[in-house]
Structures are given as C-alpha cells and as structure tokens.
C-alpha cells in the first residue's frame, strides 16, 4: 500500500516540475519511475519464504464433500 501511495504524489510532482521548469523530460522521467510501482508492490506483497515440509496445507477438502452441481432439465417453449 505504501508503494502504491507514491503514484499520485509522483503525478502531482511531475505536474509541478513541468510548471516550474517547463521541461517535459523531467516530468516524463518522474512518471516513468512511477510506472513499475504496481509491479513492485505485487512482488513485495507476495514475497514469503518457501513453505517448510512440516507446514500444513490450507486445503481441507470441503469442496469434495459438496459434489458437483447436477444438471436439471429445463422446459423449452417453442414459438
């Protein structure tokens, strides 16, 4: 969330820098640096050490007990 929170201020900073220096390259560089932030945020959020051999799985098999949905016959009205 912290990394994603930098995107809006980066866009505002790009607009302010363009207004102050009238240089589009500085503004585009700031925007360019903010582009990979969502990807980095996802990588950081999903980073965890590998599961140990003794660590239990979270699957408890409840869906197998429910069974598959059965198809019901539908009445068709021919027109």
Residue 28 Rama label (left phi>0; alpha psi -120 to 50; beta): alpha
* Number of domains observed in the structure of the chain: 1
The pLDDT tens digits along the chain (79 residues) read 888 889 999 999 999 999 999 999 999 999 999 999 999 999 988 888 887 887 776 766 665 555 566 667 778 888 7
Domain extent, residue 17, equals 1-47
User: Does the reported pTM lie above 0.85?
Assistant: no
Q: Do residues 8 and 37 make contact, with C-beta atoms less than 8 angstroms apart?
A: no
Task: Kindly state whether residue 3 falls inside one of the protein's structural domains.
Answer: yes
Position 31 scores a pLDDT of 95
Task: Kindly state whether residue 77 falls inside one of the protein's structural domains.
Answer: no
Task: Kindly state whether residue 22 falls inside one of the protein's structural domains.
Answer: yes
């Amino acid at each position: 969330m912290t990394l994603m929170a930098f995107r809006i201020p980066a866009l505002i900073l790009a607009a302010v820098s363009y207004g102050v220096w009238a240089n589009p390259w500085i503004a585009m560089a700031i925007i360019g640096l903010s582009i990979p932030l969502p990807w980095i945020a996802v990588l950081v959020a999903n980073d965890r050490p590998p599961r140990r051999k003794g660590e239990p799985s979270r699957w408890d098999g409840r869906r197998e007990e429910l069974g598959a949905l059965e198809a019901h016959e539908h009445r068709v009205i021919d027109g």
